[in-house]
Amino acid sequence: MKKKIAIIGSTGSIGTSLLDLVDPKKNDLILLTANKNYKKLLNQAKKYKVYNIIISDLSSYKKSIIFNKDKRIKIFNNFNDLNKIIKKKLDYAMLSITGIEGLLPTFKMISLTKKIAIANKESLICAWPIIQKELKRCKTEFIPVDSEHFSIWTEIKDKNIKSIKKVYLTASGGPLLNYKPESYNNLSLKKILNHPTWKMGKKISIDSATMMNKCYEVIEAKNIFDLKYDQINLLIHPDSYVHAVVVYKNGITKIVLHDTSMKIPIFNTLYNNNESFISSKKLDITKLNNLQFQKIMKKKYPIIKLLDLLPKKHSLFETLIVTINDYLVNLFLQKKINFTDISKFFFKYIKATEFKRYSKLRPRTIYDIINLNKKLILNLSTIIKY
């Protein structure tokens, strides 16, 4: 019997990579979604014979109604329509919408699928206790998609978490690895966006350059695997060949590696029972003999100092971090602030008196996070001067 699957965010890099891997003989695509890219979404629906799509941007939704020539395709504009589309639990859903906008669809999909692969960082950073509770309530299997977390999950999924002494997440060092900090503001936007080992969107490329993406991944690892922050370390590894290192209390250390391709973790979230196979490169002995692990220098990546400020217990502080960083990265991409202003302004505002209280407040529902995000954006627009 074919697996029934949905891809929430099918026009982005994760979604398109997953579509490349879908075997139509084994899978039946029930739903694809996009925010604004309605032309690409409709082409995907036509190619893969998908008859339900959601376009969340209202203007794009209206244009899609006119543009669509295949009347078999039902076009929806709201994730509140999920229950109209999905009548019976799916076998698999990929959640790859970026940003806080992906939080509500992620939460809603948990009850509608047997297995959920989550690539939306904000769900795992800002709302993990809420997401985890819903996963347990719905008896839905969860698999992380990020290469680092997928690698850890692959290694420890059948083991007792208490047997783990420490985990290491690797970082390529991003586009600025070989530049001195004093030169950052003189670099072109093109150079800062030029990631050496991964093909990324603009936002995540900037987060890689500042190393904020690794701060996010530490928070995710702590949440997903129920670790303490002092059990998680970061290592720079320029080749991005090793994705995680797990150190056990019995003296054994295991390295998890794979090709620098997101298709490998994506493939394994869909086919994780030896039911299908993916081609990969031969073991790269040259890279193994030259791993070049390095410690992360705070002078080079000052945003890493955030890890010393994280509260031990989950709170709305995580939403504060995400919102302020998103806001500042957007300003940088609009060329309204310099690259080094991102970390400078970031620490100024997370330490601001009006924001300190959020580290003591715990989100109870998804809407606590969504509403705070909106409120913070309004506040930031009035207090940030550039």
Residues 308-323: tens digit of each pLDDT: 999 999 999 999 999 9
Tell me which amino acid residue 210 is: T
- Answer for the pair 104, 369: CB distance below 8 angstroms, yes or no: no
Number of Cβ within 10 Å of residue 292's Cβ equals 11
Phi, psi of 302 (to 5 degrees): -60, -25
Q: Give 174's strand partners.
A: none
- The dihedral over CA atoms of 143, 146, 147, 150, expressed in degrees to the nearest 10, equals -20
CATH 2.70.98 fits 311-386, yes or no: no
Please state, in angstroms and as integers, the Cα–Cα distance from residue 222 to each residue in 49, 234, 310, following that order.
40, 13, 11
Which one, of 200, 238, 214, lies nearest residue 321 by Cα?
214
Structure tokens at 43: 């082409």
d(CA 271, CA 277): 8
Tens-digit pLDDT string for the chain (386 aa)? 899 999 999 999 999 999 999 998 889 999 999 999 999 999 999 999 999 999 999 999 999 999 999 989 999 999 999 999 999 999 999 999 999 999 999 999 999 999 999 999 999 999 999 999 999 999 999 999 999 999 999 999 888 999 999 999 999 998 999 999 999 999 898 989 988 887 777 898 999 999 999 999 999 999 999 999 999 999 999 999 999 999 999 999 999 999 999 999 999 999 876 667 888 888 999 999 999 999 999 999 999 999 999 999 999 999 999 999 999 999 999 999 999 999 999 999 998 888 889 999 999 999 999 999 999 998 888 776 66
- Answer for the pair 89, 113: CB distance below 8 angstroms, yes or no: yes
Task: Indicate the domain borders of the chain.
Answer: 3-145, 146-309, 311-386
* Helix/strand/coil (H/E/C) assignment for every residue in the chain: CCEEEEEECCCCHHHHHHHHHCCCCCEEEEEEEECCCHHHHHHHHHHHCCCEEEECCHHHHHHHHHHCCCCCCEEECCHHHHHHHCCCCECEEEECCCCHHHHHHHHHHHCCECEEEECCHHHHHHCHHHHHHHHHHHCCEEEECCHHHHHHHHHHCCCCHHHEEEEEEEECCHHHCCCCHHHHHHCCHHHHCCCCCCCCCHHHHHHHHHCHHHHHHHHHHHHHCCCCHHHEEEEECCCCCEEEEEEECCCCEEEEECCCCCHHHHHHHHCCCCCCCCCCCCCCHHHHCCCCCECCCCCCCHHHHHHHCCCCCCCCHHHHHHHHHHHHHHHHHCCCCCHHHHHHHHHHHHCCHHHHHHHHCCCCCHHHHHHHHHHHHHHHHHHCCC
d(CA 353, CA 360): 13
Compute CA 78 distance to the chain's CA centroid, rounded to the nearest angstrom: 22
CATH 3.20.20.150 fits 3-145, yes or no: no
d(CA 283, CA 285): 6
- Answer for the pair 85, 31: CB distance below 8 angstroms, yes or no: yes
Structure tokens at 382: 């009035």
Number of Cβ within 10 Å of residue 181's Cβ equals 14
